[in-house]
Amino acid sequence: MATSTSSKLNKAVKQQYMDLPQGDKVQAMYIWIDGSGEGLRCKTRTLDTEPKTIEDLPEWNFDGSSTYQSEGSNSDMFLIPAAMFRDPFRKDPNKLVLCEVLKYNRKPAETNLRQTCKQIMSMVENNHPWFGMEQEYTLLGTDGHPFGWPSNGFPGPQGPYYCGVGADKAYGRDIVEAHYRACLYAGVDICGTNAEVMPAQWEFQVGPCEGINMGDHLWVARFILHRLCEDFGVVVSFDPKPITGNWNGAGCHTNFSTKEMREDGGLKIIEESIERLAKRHQYHIRAYDPKGGLDNARRLTGRHETSNIDEFSAGVANRGASIRIPRAVGQDKRGYFEDRRPSANCNPYIVTEALVRTCLLKEEGEEPTDHRKLTA
């Protein structure tokens, strides 16, 4: 079984050490997104008191030449605390601190998409934009093969696994259960889980989150998943098409609404938003995976409950469309809609930013508008 050697270290021994009192000292684990735009990194520092808010956390720095983010000759990059959560691994009073990365000149790093997202979100605060993201992922052994699959083969075809129960249907539920509890403890807004269509594939949903919180909560949920899979000795993959052929890909369907859409008659606003999205399909596809659409090209084929990457479509209760309006929303004439295009390894900051730009700021064309010039 391809679980890591680390996972075989004696956990009872570890627990004895973790039970040692730590006095007034607090461990703060700083987390950031590396140069790939998908990978997470972390390191810890000791604080002399428990931070109560994000303002209590100092700036830090790291060696960007080791994370695909800078050259060795000028490698210092800054970590700016952005969102704080309880640490479900080291427990209270210790913290997880999600950070923004700045370059040596204090401009945002290439993969720091949070800064612009935050700016955009602050422009539309009064619309109360809510998001819910459905994060799909696949569990792999350390050999790279999906967890629980026969080592040199495949399980039976898809059909019995979605929301399944039983040792022949659900592979790796322990991870899902552990992750759910860890997120609840940490203060992440996790709102549900289910087994997915491909065996060893799962989904959790985070939301509803307003504005910048969507990106923050989803990135922390991802970190918690990586970290706890490490404890179990397996690997989590957010690759959008981990197994080629007649096996589902992994997406990050993004649900979106504004105060207006949620109120009576909101369906009209939803339909207007969808019209604008239809005219900007390329811009969104570029924003919806970390490789400008190349990753999603392997997933958005038009089959396996996806839309085709080259075509925009929308429809009530239609899982083969780019945008799905849930049946209940069609009936109540208000609510939210679901953009099914984002890939599992998307950056939620730019996905949510793109939706706000197109639907609320009514931008058009292939490029995002630089709003800093307009407000200068």
Q: Tell me whether residue 234 or residue 309 sits nearer to its own copies (CB atom).
A: 234
Residue 272 φ/ψ, nearest 5 degrees: -65, -40
In order of 21, 35, 224, 248, 342, the CA distances from 41 in angstroms are 27, 10, 12, 28, 23
Binding residues with its own copies: total (CB under 8 A): 55
- One of 50, 51, 54, 75 touching its own copies (CB under 8 A): 75
Of residues 52, 55, 72, 374, which one binds its own copies by CB under 8 A? 72
Stretch that binds its own copies, among 37-45, 168-176, 179-187, 251-259 (CB under 8 A): 37-45
CA 328 to chain centre: 26
Among residues 57, 67, 116, 250, the one that binds its own copies under rule CB under 8 A: 67
The answer to the question of residue 151 lying near its own copies (CB under 8 A) is: no
How many alpha carbons fall within 13 Å on the CB side of residue 118?
A: 10
Q: In angstroms, give the least distance from the CB of 236 to its own copies.
A: 7
User: Does residue 65 interact with its own copies by CB under 8 A?
Assistant: yes
User: Crossing angle for the helix pair 213-232 and 173-186, nearest 10 degrees?
Assistant: 130
Report how far residue 298's alpha carbon sits from residue 301's, in angstroms, rounded to the nearest whole number: 7
C-alpha span between 285 and 309 (Å, rounded): 8
Give min distance, CB of 47 to its own copies, in A: 9
Could you tell me which stretch among 35-43, 186-194, 285-293, 318-326 binds its own copies (CB under 8 A)?
A: 35-43
CB closer to its own copies out of 111 and 254: 111
The stretch among 185-193, 233-241, 309-317, 357-365 that binds its own copies (CB under 8 A) is 233-241
Interface pick for its own copies out of 1, 43, 181, 328 (rule CB under 8 A): 43
**Residue from 3, 194, 301, 313 that binds its own copies (CB under 8 A)?**
3
CB 190 within 8 A of CB 202: no
CB closer to its own copies, 60 vs 154:
60
Of 208, 237, 240, residue with least CA distance to 225: 237
| Minimum CB distance to its own copies smaller for 42 or for 178 | 42
Q: Is 158 in the site for its own copies (CB under 8 A)?
A: no
Q: For its own copies, which residue of 1, 49, 58, 68 counts as binding (CB under 8 A)?
A: 68
In the bound complex, what is the minimum distance in angstroms from residue 138's beta carbon to its own copies? 13
**Apex 127 CA angle, 123 and 133, nearest 5:** 95
Strand, coil or helix: what is 266? Answer: coil
Pick from 284, 251, 293: which is nearest to 359 by CA?
284
24 class by beta-carbon count within 10 Å (0-12 exposed, 13-18 middle, 19+ buried)? exposed
- The interface with its own copies within residues 198-217 (CB under 8 A) comprises none
Question: Does 61 help bind its own copies (rule: CB under 8 A)?
Answer: yes
Residue 165 interacts with its own copies (CB under 8 A): yes or no: no
Query: Which stretch in 190-198, 221-229, 239-247, 364-372 sits in contact with its own copies by CB under 8 A?
Result: 221-229
Looking at residues 5 to 34 of the shown chain, list those that interact with its own copies (rule: CB under 8 A).
Answer: 5-14, 16-18, 20-23, 25, 27
Contact 283, 367 (CB under 8 A): yes
C-beta of 90 vs 298, nearer to its own copies:
90
What is the Cα–Cα distance from 147 to 184, expressed in whole angstroms? 25
CB atoms within 10 A of CB 43: 13
Please report whether residue 41 would count as binding its own copies according to CB under 8 A.
yes
Please list every residue from 108 through 147 that binds its own copies, using CB under 8 A. Answer: 142
Query: What distance in Å separates the CA atoms of residue 228 and residue 299, rounded to the nearest whole number?
Result: 27
Q: Does 235 bind its own copies (CB under 8 A)?
A: yes
Distant-in-sequence, close-in-space partners of 120: CB < 8 Å, separation ≥ 6: 353, 356, 357, 361, 371
CA 44 – CA 89 distance, rounded (Å): 13
66 sits near its own copies (criterion: CB under 8 A): yes
Q: What is the contact surface with its own copies in residues (CB under 8 A)?
A: 3-14, 16-18, 20-23, 25, 27, 39-46, 61-63, 65-68, 72-76, 89-90, 104, 142, 223, 226-227, 229-230, 232-236
